[in-house]
Amino acid sequence: MKHYMLAVHMTEGTPIPSEEEIQQAYRDTDAFNAEIQAAGAWVFGGGLLPPDTATVVRAQGGKVVTTDGPFAETKEQLGGFWVIKVADLDAALDYASRASAACRQPVEVRPFEDFPGE
């Protein structure tokens, strides 16, 4: 079994959905979460607060420097993620297609590096 991350991307400048659309996306995402948990593929997942809540921490020259805001200045930011354990990329892509439909955002699929002994 391979581990994959399904990352939800939020794009700056896209139209803001109505409150009902947002609530329906939450309900659909909760149902999707229950589905992957029931299938035994769930490892971990969660939504993230907006990028302006981020703090970047850097170790520089023996000191720790922190700055407010996201690390990357970009129009697209990570909005949430799932870590799943499935047989292969095809299974991960199938879950990603359902994740994208549920949360109504693009979902990127990335494999983890192989764990020693797996």
Radius of gyration of the chain (CA): 16
The DSSP code sequence of 66-102 is EEES-SS--SEEEEEEEEEEESSHHHHHHHHHHHHHH
- What pLDDT is attached to residue 51? 84
Task: Classify domain 2-111 at the CATH class level.
Answer: alpha beta
Q: Where are the domains of the chain?
A: 2-111
pLDDT in the model for residue 115: 67
pTM tops 0.75 = yes
Structure-token pair, residue 78: 């990570």
β-pair partners for 49: none
User: Are 94 and 100 in contact, with CB atoms under 8 Å apart?
Assistant: no
Residues of the chain with pLDDT under 70: 115, 118
Residue 54 Cα to chain centre, angstroms: 15
- Summarised one tens digit per residue, pLDDT across range 83-106 is 999 999 999 999 999 999 999 999
